[in-house]
Structure 1
Amino acid sequence: MDSQTFVNKAAASGIIAFDLSDYKPTTDIVELDIKDHLFMGMIVKEKEFKESIAATDFSVYHEKAVGIVCSTEAIIPPWAYMLLMEKLSPYAVYTDLNDARTVLLDLWKRRLTYADLKHYKDQKVVVRAKAEHDPTLYLLATGLLKPLVKSLMYGEIGLPKVIFKK
């Protein structure tokens, strides 16, 4: 029988994988619904709102990212958000006026933006394709990697789609 040598062309290509999952935040993200602190779930009455906030144990948000939402059509005055932030600030690592999905995306983009990507300089890089990742992350990754890399691709090392070449 003839012995054949198999060459791993993907490994020999020199292409490095860039996986957006490596930059996904690990912080727990929770939502705080203002509705729970409103009179009849609809109206901001200052006295009742302040009493409700004062009676809340905000330590449950310790080391968490908090998305503040209102699941009703109530009009919330800015001071109410300020009061919530004053109570959350000793505990929450991040707070925003968005749902949990948007908070996750914002934190993920922040981690990507501040990541040390210098080891990709002058390399052939493929950004791994994953359907569950928001397209915004691919947009940001392209903007961050293009000035550094020799070539930028999308997909998998064995069958990438070329996006950019120097």
Structure 2
Amino acid sequence: METFINKAEASGIIALDLLDYRPTTEIVELDIKDHLFMGMIVKEKEFKESIAAIDFSVYNEKAVGIICSTDAIIPPWVYMFLMEKLSPYAIYVDLNNAEDVLLDLWKRRLTYADLKHYKNQKVVVRARADHDPSLYLLAAGLLKPLVKSLMYGEIGLPKVIFKT
């Protein structure tokens, strides 16, 4: 009887899946346009009244991306005013669309992750076509000082990035 050896398992390579660090926080957008005079102009009194009418509790425990879907000129105090209203509720606020907020939060989770269990290991970062390349850039920078070798792809057929 022949014994089959799983060469991938025997290689000692461990996988890091960036998907494990994807934030689970709900991300919503707040469009300033909806609170502008004619959708284009910040009139202080009207803007503040419009913002005061918002139930900010809907942003509780969410990440908020502030956007303006028109080419209006928004004075900086508007962002400060919005932050003051959102800060008791939102866990994160940025001047970006939801996609960019997601990427930023993802990078933060990866940056602050405890990666010490990868120390002196052979590590492959799993390939996923839908991940932003900046996540791979960050992962390589974080892992390089720790790992014995860094690879990209899958355990069975990795692309070697470096070996020590």
- TM-score, structure 1 normalization: 0.98
Write the letter of the residue equivalent to 1:93.
I
1:146, distance to aligned residue in structure 2 (A): 0.5
Measure the CA separation in 2 of the matches of 1:92 and 1:159: 43
Measure the CA separation in 2 of the matches of 1:92 and 1:5: 56
Measure the CA separation in 2 of the matches of 1:55 and 1:81: 17
**Aligned residues with identical type, % of pairs:** 85
- Mind listing any 5+ residue stretches in structure 1 that lack a counterpart? none
1:70, distance to aligned residue in structure 2 (A): 0.1
Measure the CA separation in 2 of the matches of 1:38 and 1:143: 43
The aligned residue for residue 95 of structure 2 is 97
Moved over 2 A (4+): none
- Mind listing any 5+ residue stretches in structure 2 that lack a counterpart? none
Write the letter of the residue equivalent to 2:135.
L
1:4, distance to aligned residue in structure 2 (A): 1.3
The aligned residue for residue 104 of structure 2 is 106
The aligned residue for residue 144 of structure 1 is 142
The aligned residue for residue 117 of structure 1 is 115
Q: RMSD in angstroms over aligned alpha carbons?
A: 0.4
- TM-score, structure 2 normalization: 0.99
Measure the CA separation in 2 of the matches of 1:60 and 1:7: 55
Establish whether residue 163 from structure 1 lines up as the match of residue 145 from structure 2: no
Measure the CA separation in 2 of the matches of 1:138 and 1:47: 46
The aligned residue for residue 154 of structure 1 is 152
* Residues matched between the structures, number: 164
Map residues 1-166 of structure 1 onto 2, 5 A cutoff.
3-166=1-164
Write the letter of the residue equivalent to 1:118.
K
Measure the CA separation in 2 of the matches of 1:133 and 1:77: 34
1:124, distance to aligned residue in structure 2 (A): 0.1
